[in-house]
Amino acid sequence: MNVLDNVMMAAAFDEDDSKERKTRMEQFYVSPILKSLINKECIVSSDELDNERCTVLDVDAEWIMLRIHGKKGDSTFVERISSVDEIQVL
């Protein structure tokens, strides 16, 4: 193995490490837009919810916690962010 081979292997390793680091960072990244919705009244449409009026209680990188305001009272609901289609702020 020559010096050029070692440099190429090191560059490939750094690129793989950088991709892993980015993936790990994305796991914990929470959009500032979603964070700004905490404690706001919204209408949420998703795989499980059909234009439900609710309050956003908390958000992390993967989940959103909502308090649904139903006819029979309030209930707490946790939904994956990836399944949320639309959020309308009231």
Strand runs (DSSP E) across 1-90, as ranges? 41-46, 52-59, 63-70, 73-80, 84-89
The predicted structure's pLDDT at residue 70: 85
DSSP state of 48: S
Q: Of 88, 29, 35, whose CA–CA distance to 65 is shortest?
A: 35
Q: Of 83, 21, 16, whose CA–CA distance to 49 is shortest?
A: 83
Q: Report how far residue 4's alpha carbon sits from residue 56's, in angstroms, rounded to the nearest whole number.
A: 54
For the domain covering 31-90, report its CATH number: 2.30.30.100
The predicted structure's pLDDT at residue 71: 85
Whether the predicted model's global pTM rises above the 0.75 cut:
no
Splitting the chain (90 residues) into consecutive groups of 10 residues, what average pLDDT does each group show? 50 55 60 91 92 93 92 92 92
Q: Report how far residue 54's alpha carbon sits from residue 42's, in angstroms, rounded to the nearest whole number.
A: 5
Question: Using alpha carbons only, what angle is made at residue 85 by residues 84 and 90, rounded to the nearest 5 degrees?
Answer: 90
